[in-house]
Chain A
Amino acid sequence: MIAQHLPALQVVVPLLSAPLCLLLNRARVAWLLSTAASWVALVIAVLLLQQVLATGTLSYELGGWAAPWGIEYRLDPVNAFVLVIVAGIGSVVMPFAATSVVHEIAAEHRVLFYTTYLLCLAGLLGIAITGDAFNLFVFLEISSLSSYIMISLGRDRRALTASYQYLIMGTIGATFILIGVGLLYMMTGTLNMLDLAQRIPSVADTRTVRVALAFLTVGISIKLALFPLHLWLPNAYVYAPSVVTAFLAATATKVAVYMLLRFLFTVFGAELSFEAMVMHLVLLPLALLAVFSASVVAIYQDNLKRMLAYSSVAQIGYIILGISFASVTGVTAGILHLFNHALMKGALFLALGCVFYRLGSVQLRDIAGLGRRMPWTFAAIVIGGLSLIGVPLTVGFISKWYLVLAALEGGLWWVAVLVLLGSLLAVAYIWRVVEVAFFQPAPRNAPSQEAPLTLLLPTWALIGANVYFGINTELTVGVAHRAAEWLIGGGG
């Protein structure tokens, strides 16, 4: 009975826990509730993924209204995988929050933090699960509005301006998406994604549909921080509380990438997106520019959080690069990197959260010599960094490997070379951290204590996942490959 309603529960559990948090109005209880809700969401997501891998697709009619009229939740290998990523990161970040939030967020805001976190989780899961284009916009705004609030909770007053800037950019992006959906509705008279996919080919040659594709691509690109629309991202990540940065870096942009995949491949179809509209000619150069410009900027940052934020922009470049090949291997690489980047950035930002907990700062000069005083934290940063570079036995290697394969398969050997060069830039910015942390003497007043276990355990859980999925690639590559085949095949 309840198994039948899992798709709805996936969104409803966090969505209803949010007001409950507010009503209970006790930080400790709110934390327990949001941790429980995240874990329940993860269990549901894993069950759904299993079901989807066994049967193909799963359709759920919300409120019992049949598909093209009512809102349909539709699960296929692509979004079932995204659900697991989002819920998984949520359930690792929440245990971390217990200690970190007490340290970083003012007492009167803690309950609000948990409430908005749950809303954000519900919104992100909703974007992934829904099969309705307008419903997607609504969930997007739920997750965006709550993430603006979460960012503004940072102690630094610049968190406010960062959040404001993100609000302006994010709203423009969301409005672009709204325009795109409206134009599609105008031409096809439907909002159901599957229905749209069937009806668009007959009107594909009209300017309206092409403009719709352009609006949707630009709107989503703002949300996923594709170069040069990434300007909101660095400040938002730097000034937000550590937990928020880790959660958003690992989930929000990833879900936006999923939206792009969904619209380019399922709704418009690869034929219209890549043959008629030559999206790859736009996405490929932007992706490469993102990789190089953001990596170079990252090398010159003295704030570690800002360094990782720019590195995020670069890594999103790799994901988009994979997608722009529009081949099964390319999209596999994109989806793999989507998962892998969530793991490494989640881990790295949590590790920085540990540093911030002891130091109250994440400036490069302040971590001098701390490698020996906080061995576990900095070991985590090193392993996460290696994964970011793409060293074998970490997840980063797997996605880079597939990316290079895809480039060679498409006959673009120079892109493969550029991917490898981009990794060298990652070596440069990670090395700076290692050098300062391990090879410089610690100042006398440096803290000599390791971060508390409640922070280290979640961090190491993600680091462990980085290594585990770097060695045992069966699950991730298998799912990503199936998802890519599904998207390219225009699977209905």
Chain B
Amino acid sequence: MQWLGLYNYWIVIFLMMAGFYVVISRSNLVKKIVGLNLFQTSVFILYISMSKVQGGTAPILKEGFAVYSNPLPHVLILTAIVVGVATTALGLALVVRIKEAYGTVEEDEIHNKDESL
């Protein structure tokens, strides 16, 4: 039953694939950004999962505790979250500009408008 013990990794893979699928299959630009976000979030969980040490506490020095979780991936992922927020913000800003320029956020309609020129 090893695979059950690795459930957090299964969650990561499920979220990753779900997000990826949304990015590929949706033609609505906002939904694509949502999918992209989901995709990135799954990686955050991957990092956080790997930092867990069994029986470890939060990495704060205190008497009576000898085993700590690894804090480095937490810090790394804080950086990655910031990057993710910046990407989402920029993506949505672009969608707003696209909406202003084309009057729609549907990929196929945008494509048609460019073709008809």
Contact = CB atoms under 8 A, between A and B. Distances in A.
Main secondary structure of the interface of A (DSSP, over half): helix
B14 interface: no
Contacts of A200: none
B40 A186 contact: no
Given A134-B76, A158-B114, A171 B40 contact: yes
B36 A172 contact: yes
A186 B83 contact: no
B46 A152 contact: no
A261 interface: no
A207 interface: no
A148 B47 CA distance: 27
A444 interface: no
A301 B80 CA distance: 39
A175 interface: yes
Contacts of A171: 36, 40, 87, 91
Contact of B90 (A134, A137, A148, A175): A148
A172 B90 CA distance: 15
Contacts of A174: 83
Given A138-B79, A164-B29, A171-B40, A157 B101 contact: yes
Contacts of B76: 134, 185, 191
A145 B46 contact: no
A167 interface: yes
Nearest to B46: A182
A161 interface: yes
Nearest to A158: B114
A464 B43 CA distance: 47
Interface string B81-109: 00100110011001101100110000000
Interface string B15-45: 0000010010000010010001001100100
Interface residues of A, number: 26
A168 interface: yes
A164 B95 contact: yes
Given A138-B79, A138-B83, A161-B98, A182 B47 contact: yes
A152 B101 contact: no
Contact of B98 (A134, A160, A179, A186): A160
Contacts of A172: 20, 23, 36, 39
Contacts of B114: 158, 161
Contacts of A145: 83, 86-87, 90
A172 B20 CA distance: 9
Given A138-B79, A175-B39, A179-B43, A152 B50 contact: no
Given A167-B87, A168-B32, A152 B39 contact: no
Nearest to B50: A186
A175 B23 CA distance: 13
Contacts of A167: 87, 90-91, 94
A182 B50 contact: yes
A185 B73 contact: yes
Nearest to A138: B79
Contacts of A152: 94, 97
Contacts of A178: 43, 80
A141 B91 CA distance: 13
Contact of B94 (A138, A163, A185, A191): A163
Contacts of B39: 172, 175
A161 B40 contact: no
A309 interface: no
A164 B47 contact: no
A179 B46 contact: yes
A165 to B, nearest CB: 9
A226 B110 CA distance: 27
A54 B85 CA distance: 43
B23 A168 contact: yes
Given A141-B87, A145-B87, A167-B91, A185 B101 contact: no
Interface string A9-23: 000000000000000
A148 B46 contact: no
Interface in A131-185: 134, 137-138, 141, 145, 148-149, 152, 157-158, 160-161, 163-164, 167-168, 171-172, 174-175, 178-179, 182, 185
Contacts of A138: 79, 83
B25 to A, nearest CB: 13
Nearest to B98: A160
A141 B110 CA distance: 27
Given A157-B102, A168-B32, A171-B36, A182 B43 contact: yes
Contacts of A185: 50, 72-73, 76
A137 B87 CA distance: 14
Contacts of A160: 94, 97-98, 101
A87 B25 CA distance: 40
Contacts of A157: 98, 101-102
Contact of A141 (B32, B43, B83, B102): B83
B91 to A, nearest CB: 5
A186 B40 CA distance: 18
**A-B complex: 8 closest residue pairs judged by Cβ atoms:** A157-B101, A141-B83, A186-B50, A164-B94, A160-B98, A160-B97, A182-B47, A171-B87
Given A141-B83, A175-B43, A178-B80, 6 more contacts: A138-B83, A149-B90, A160-B98, A161-B98, A172-B39, A185-B76
24 contacts: A134-B76, A141-B83, A141-B86, A145-B90, A148-B90, A158-B114, A160-B97, A160-B101, A164-B91, A167-B94, A168-B36, A168-B91, A171-B40, A171-B87, A172-B20, A172-B36, A174-B83, A175-B39, A175-B43, A178-B80, A179-B46, A182-B73, A185-B76, A186-B50
